[in-house]
Amino acid sequence: MIVVPGPSSVDLGKRVAGLISAETVDLDYKNFPDGESYLRLSRSVEGEDVVLIHTTYPQQDKRLIELLLITDALKDLGAERVRVVVPYMAYARQDTRFRDGEAVSIRTLLRLVEASGADEFYTVDIHKEATLGAFKIKAKNLYGTEVIGEHLGMMGLKDPYILSPDKGAIMIAKRVAERLGAEYGNFEKTRDRITGAITVRGEAVDVRGKDAVIVDDLISTGGTIANAARLLKEWGAKRVLAACTHPLLVAGASERMREAGVDEVLGTDTVSSPISRISVAPLIAKELR
Ligand code: R5P
């Protein structure tokens, strides 16, 4: 087995390769003056069992094109099997036609990944696991909650209470809570489909004097976490922590969460960010072994 760390996941790819004692194959890549990507494998992959690890953030569109180019090149150059690992799969939130006329983005992208020749597809905490049903090839969602739960378990939290911002993410809260032997619950989040404005509500839970942890698949603007954190502070939480698998953290997210009273934010290295302190490498390595 050989591992090809894509340009967006060089560190993570090498970490995974190290854990499964596999050779890594470098990619030469550069941008043409007009911004197009150039990619070249540094050695033959003929007959090889290849694992490509390439995340799709930041610069989702560019990273997705690179993913398709590399996968197609690997097959075209004679790789026996290509397993594609996309730690963060972009465009996954648009998994339904919420309003008439909308593009169902994730379905289109999964079709393209399959058409590029991938034999198997792996991702971590895709927004909705059921979307992987669009694939005809083997596709699997890995749970980032395993490594997040383990990390939280080592933090010595005081009487933790785990909450997801909405019902859709309740399984994330449940999995983390079960690892910690903690209580869990969820808020109710609504998003205005036109303005994008978020409202987070919920019946008060008894978090007085506790460490409340909000868990979600991703943090983008931090608005969801900030709204939930304000309620938790109102309800008397001693500390409010936020943990996510994919810390996209668009401009201003960290300040927004801090101003709402969030004491600490944690994320994994499915995308790199200043808070990507929890590695999903052991999770991916375990699956590949
Ligand atoms: C949406 O349903 C996701 O699970 C996240 O809750 C959401 O995308 C976070 O976005 P933001 O950080 O901008 O509130």
Tens digit of each residue's pLDDT (9 = 90 or more) over 86-134:
999 999 999 999 999 999 999 999 999 999 999 999 999 999 999 999 9
Taking a C-beta distance cutoff of 8 angstroms, is the pair 187, 256 a contact?
A: no
Q: Is-catalytic flag, 75?
A: no
Tell me, yes or no, whether 129 and 153 share the same domain.
no
How far away, in angstroms, is 1 Cα from ligand 1 center? 36
Query: Which of 182, 179, 176, 180 is CA-nearest to residue 161?
Result: 182
pLDDT, residue 198, reads 86
Q: Which helix (H) or strand (E) holds 198?
A: strand 198-201
Q: Residue 259: which of 219, 216, 229 has the closest Cα?
A: 229
| CA dist list (Å): 7 to 56, 64, 178, 202 | 10, 11, 36, 42
Q: Quick one: 184 and 120 in the same domain?
A: no
Indicate the pairing of strand 138-142 with strand 276-278. unpaired
Residue ranges of the chain whose pLDDT lies below 50:
none
Q: 227 CB under 6 A from ligand 1? A: no
CA of 4 to the centre of ligand 1 (A): 30
Mutation probe of ligand 1 site: the residue of 218, 245, 265 with most atoms within 8 A of C-beta: 218
List the residue whose alpha carbon is closest to atom 9 of ligand 1.
219
Whether residue 214 sits in one domain with residue 115: no
Identify whether residues 98 and 218 lie together within a single domain.
no
Residues 156 and 218 both lie in one domain: yes
Does 50 reside within a domain? yes
Q: Which of these three, 90, 121, 142, is where a domain ends?
A: 142
pLDDT value at residue 38: 98
In terms of residue numbers, what domain contains 64? 2-142
Neighbouring-strand partners of residue 267: 244, 276
**What's the CATH number where 19 sits?**
3.40.50.2020
Last residue of a domain, one of 114, 142, 170: 142
**pLDDT at site 42:** 96
In this structure, the answer to whether residues 172 and 235 fall within a common structural domain is: yes
CA of 248 to the centre of ligand 1 (A): 10
Which pLDDT does position 193 carry in this prediction?
86
Contact 54, 98 (CB under 8 A): no
Q: Which of 30, 75, 174, 189 is catalytic?
A: 189
Measured in angstroms, how far is the CA atom of residue 181 from the centroid of ligand 1? 26
pLDDT for residue 106: 98
> In this predicted structure, what is the pLDDT of residue 92?
98
Regarding whether 122 and 90 lie in a shared domain, the answer is: yes
224 in contact with ligand 1, CB cutoff 6 A: yes
- Ligand 1 and 48: CB distance under 6 A: no
Question: What total of structural domains would you count in the chain?
Answer: 2
| Ligand 1 atom index nearest CA of 219 | 12
| 284 in a structural domain | no
Closest atom of ligand 1 to CA, residue 165? 6
